Amino acid sequence: MAIAAAISVPLTTPSRRSLSSFSNTFRSYSSCFPLQTKTHKLISNSIRNPSFSIISASSMSVEAPEKASAASFLDRKESGFLHFVKYHGLGNDFILVDNRDSMEPRITPEQAVKLCDRNFGIGADGVIFAMPGINGTDYTMRIFNSDGSEPEMCGNGVRCFARYIAELDNLHGKQSFTVHTGAGLIVPEIQEDGKVRVDMGEPILKASDVPTKLPANKADSVVKSKLDVDGVTWNVTCVSMGNPHCITFGVEENQNLQIDELKLAEIGPKFENHAMFPARTNTEFVQVFSPSQLKMRVWERGAGATLACGTGACAVLVAAVLEGRAERICTVDLPGGPLEIEWREEDNHVYMTGPAEVVFYGSVSL
Ligand SMILES: N[C@@H](CCC[C@H](N)C(=O)O)C(=O)O
């Protein structure tokens, strides 16, 4: 696989012809540059690579960043273009947009859907906007899912957000920010090793606040309750990390789910749109390997099957503790890799630690 350092793509439906020239163009461009996870390296390689040339098709073009650097790219402000950086957290990928001069997202939900499309757009699980802080916070983070809906929070996204802010503001080493989100105050901290540790706040367990219509069975919360999905009875626990999650360790008669065998694309939408979840739901299917080692697959509200979900991993640990299956500090393995999660008894906050990486820098004409 190879990636481009700067891509320009118009945000209109491309013709068959321009699409094929784009894919040819992209292939020839791609062959110049092997995948590197650090885009700084990629840009400097492309600057040094003498075989690199400007290639353009009728309605789409891939352009050479001959004089580009990460910093100069981030400074670009031409009107009519959206400059972005694509990041991922364990394969959960996002288009990050510098929106620090306005509280109005630079693009509409409909445009986000087009940009997130993996065939006709850039390809991503969501678009994240870095906005001015409110209520005394340093920044505000908003996000559109790939279906254009707006969730309250995104765990992998906030780690990418922290790394993006550090890059925009040219910050190095250990850094911490306060971020206003739809889930309230979130505090990411970039560590010396580049990973991001996030104070995700307190989990919400009250059934009506998750929200779920399932009746509360443990204080105000829904723990190991029965949920009928197409005639099959699942045991579920409902947790909100600002956004809603339904966590299951198995069906009524078998609590040892073999998650690799699940037909996620078939079962996922049935949970997402179940009548018991008035705001739809994210769903995590979990296998317990030991009290400190969990493995999950996720079907995300508004994004489908993703390689990782940070809020999901936090919700999974909370559910596992509530069901007596795990300790308060766990490694949660996701298809894209592991996250370290702690639900701390002293402050009732959940802490998540994991990576966030640049994929590439790009521009799209609006
Ligand atoms: N992938 C995210 C969650 C993104 C939001 C979710 N799809 C929702 O609608 O709640 C994460 O890492 O937390």
Q: b or e along 223-246 (b: 16 or more beta carbons within 10 Å of the residue's beta carbon)?
A: bbbebebeeeebbbbbbbbbbbbb
Q: What is the pLDDT of residue 149?
A: 98
Three-class secondary structure of residue 314 per DSSP: helix
Residue pair 126/144 in contact by the 8 Å Cβ criterion: yes
CATH code where residue 214 lies: 3.10.310.10
Q: How many A from CA of 297 to the centre of ligand 1?
A: 13
Query: pLDDT tens across 258-307, in order?
Result: 999 999 999 999 999 999 999 999 999 999 999 999 999 999 999 999 99
Q: What is the pLDDT of residue 64?
A: 44
In a domain, 1, yes or no: no
- Structural domain boundaries, residue 304: 207-348
Query: pLDDT tens across 52-96, in order?
Result: 222 222 233 334 444 456 777 777 777 789 999 999 999 999 999
Three-class secondary structure of residue 41 per DSSP: helix
- 79/222 same-domain check: no
Q: What percent of the chain has pLDDT over 70?
A: 81
Distance, in Å, from the CA atom of 59 to the CA atom of 51, rounded to the nearest integer, reads 24
Three-class secondary structure of residue 283 per DSSP: strand
Q: What percent of the chain has pLDDT over 90?
A: 75
Query: pLDDT tens across 157-187, in order?
Result: 999 999 999 999 988 888 999 999 999 999 9
Query: pLDDT tens across 128-141, in order?
Result: 999 999 999 999 99
Q: What is the pLDDT of residue 65?
A: 45
Three-class secondary structure of residue 138 per DSSP: coil
The full 3-state SS of 144-157, as one line of letters, equals EECCCCCCCCCHHH
H helix or E strand, kind and range, residue 317:
helix 310-322
**Does the pLDDT value for residue 25 go beyond 80?**
no
- 317/336 same-domain check: yes
- 82/157 same-domain check: yes
Q: What is the pLDDT of residue 255?
A: 86
- 279/154 same-domain check: no
In a domain, 147, yes or no: yes
In a domain, 2, yes or no: no
Q: What is the CA radius of gyration of the chain?
A: 21
Confidence of residue 126 (pLDDT cuts 50, 70, 90): very high
In a domain, 35, yes or no: yes
Pocket of ligand 1 (CB under 6 A): 92, 145, 151, 154-157, 243, 282, 300-303, 306, 309-312
Distance, in Å, from the CA atom of 110 to the CA atom of 121, rounded to the nearest integer, reads 12
Best mutation site among 116, 149, 243 for ligand 1 pocket (most ligand atoms within 8 Å of CB): 243
314 counts as catalytic? no
Cite the beta strand spans of 192-323 per DSSP E. 196-199, 225-229, 232-240, 244-251, 282-290, 293-300, 304-306
**Does the pLDDT value for residue 2 go beyond 60?**
no
